[in-house]
Structures are given as C-alpha cells and as structure tokens.
Amino acid sequence: MTQKRNIKGLSRFLFLISGGLLILLPIISVVIWLKIDLLIGFMERPYDTTTFTIKTQALGMLFSLLPLSIWMFGLYNLRRLFKNYMAERIFLEENAKYIKRFAWVNIIGGGLSPFISGVFTIILSMNHAVGERFLALDLGTAEVHIILLGLIFVVIANVMADAHSLSKENDQFV
C-alpha cells in the first residue's frame, strides 16, 4: 500500500512539474531572445551586442522552436504517463508507448544537439564582419548521456510492452 502511495505521490509531483515546464519553457525561450542583452552579462566571454539585430533575434527565436518542440513533445508524453500512474494505471501498453516516445525524443534531441548549437552560432555571428563569423559544433558527454538514456528507455518500453502482452495472455487463460 505504501508503495502505491509513493508512486501516486511522486507521479503527481512529476505531473505538475512537467505541466509547469510545458508552460514555462516557451515563455522563457521567447524572453531569452527578446532580452538577449540581459543574458549576455552571464556569459564567460563578452559578446558584442551591436551585431545583434532584430533579424538575429527573430531567426534565433524561430529556430529555437525546433529543439523546444522536440523536448515539449517528450514532456507531454511524460505528463500523460504520470497521469496514468497517478490513477494507478501502471502496466499498460499505452504507458509503454509514452515511455518509448520520450526515449526517442532523448535520442533525437541528443543527436541533433551538436547541429542545433552549430546553427545557433551561425545565427549569432551572421552580422559579424567577414573573418569574424564562426561555426561551433558542440558534442559533449551530456549529449552522449542523453542518447544512452534514450536507448535504455527504449529497452524499458519494449520490456513493458512485452509484459503487458504476457499479462493479457495470462488473463485469457484464467
């Protein structure tokens, strides 16, 4: 009984967190691009904001929708998963699908991350003088961890789907 209560409580917490992030992330993304000069102050190296135009902001904001939409799709599926868990609907084929979608979001998001950061560097430096424009591709352990985590979740989702199928078979024999 305590285990079910723990699952319900944690699922409710994560349901609320994922819902909050679904609201906050788009707002934060827009605010960052509209008020980029405030963000520049937190950077290690100074950035020349005189080359930062409305066009740069618009392109950055539009392009940031791609990774944002990928991660929001993952959050949406997690939210649906936790909603089922809150209702004590644990071992469902539907939940395996939510986990698998979240897993693929991690794999795709982690795989695209170096290219996305590359496009952002192009956007941020496109108004620089010739010879000062740059392209930086970033692949670190965080991206590798995200991809590996996604692969682990794919396996877990497949195990859950198989367990659900076996459970249905067993129910038919009784």
What are the pLDDT digits (tens) for 131-157? 888 888 888 899 999 999 999 999 999
Alpha helices in the chain (DSSP H): 2-34, 36-40, 54-86, 93-125, 141-173
The whole-number pLDDT of residue 3 equals 87
| Cα dihedral sign, 159-165-169-171 | positive
> Is the pLDDT score of 164 beyond 70?
yes
The whole-number pLDDT of residue 134 equals 83
In contact, 90 and 7? CB cutoff 8 Å:
yes
C-alpha distances in angstroms, 18 versus 14, 66, 106, 170? 6, 19, 15, 35
- The CA distance from 172 to 134, in Å, is 63
Domain count, the chain: 1
The whole-number pLDDT of residue 88 equals 92
What are the pLDDT digits (tens) for 45-74? 666 667 778 898 899 999 999 999 999 999
Domain that holds residue 166: 2-173
The percent of residues above 70 in pLDDT, for the chain, comes to 91
